[in-house]
């Protein structure tokens, strides 16, 4: 009886170690994805849409901040730089 309990404990420990290894390596998720092609397409589509929206918002914010900065530089009336920046700002405002 004692030997049987010891073997069961060893088996339980081995199963627990195997489970931990699978969880750490995300093998369960990979095996799920490899078996379901629709799930792969759905995840990649959503990831692509999220990246596209994020890039669009980021570029818009950075461009707006750059235009505001250039407008402030124009108000400083720096002789050479001010003229070029004024032209750039005017082109951007016309394209709106």
Contact 71, 96 (CB under 8 A): no
Give the pTM: 0.49
User: Are 47 and 19 part of one and the same domain?
Assistant: no
Q: Two tokens at 13?
A: 């420990």
User: Are 54 and 23 part of one and the same domain?
Assistant: no
User: Are 48 and 83 part of one and the same domain?
Assistant: yes
* 58-74 pLDDT per residue, tens: 999 999 998 888 888 77
User: Are 69 and 26 part of one and the same domain?
Assistant: no
User: Are 31 and 43 part of one and the same domain?
Assistant: no
User: Are 67 and 83 part of one and the same domain?
Assistant: yes
- The per-residue b/e assignment along 51-83, b for 16 or more CB within 10 angstroms, e otherwise, is eeeeeeeeeeeeeeeeeeebeebbeeeeeeeee
* 16-64 pLDDT per residue, tens: 888 887 777 776 677 766 777 888 888 889 999 999 999 999 999 999 9
d(CA 40, CA 63): 34
pLDDT for residue 49: 97
The number of distinct structural domains making up the chain is 2
User: Are 70 and 89 part of one and the same domain?
Assistant: yes
User: Are 23 and 50 part of one and the same domain?
Assistant: no
Note down the domain range covering 78.
Answer: 37-96
Q: What SS3 class is residue 29?
A: helix
């Amino acid at each position: 009886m004692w030997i049987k309990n010891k073997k069961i404990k060893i088996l339980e420990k081995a199963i627990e170690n195997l489970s931990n290894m699978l969880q750490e390596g995300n093998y369960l998720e990979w095996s799920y994805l490899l078996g379901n092609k629709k799930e792969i397409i759905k995840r990649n589509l959503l990831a692509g849409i999220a990246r596209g929206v994020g890039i669009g918002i980021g570029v818009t914010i950075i461009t707006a901040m750059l235009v505001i900065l250039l407008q402030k530089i124009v108000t400083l009336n720096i002789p050479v730089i001010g003229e070029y920046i004024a032209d750039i700002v005017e082109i951007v405002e016309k394209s709106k």
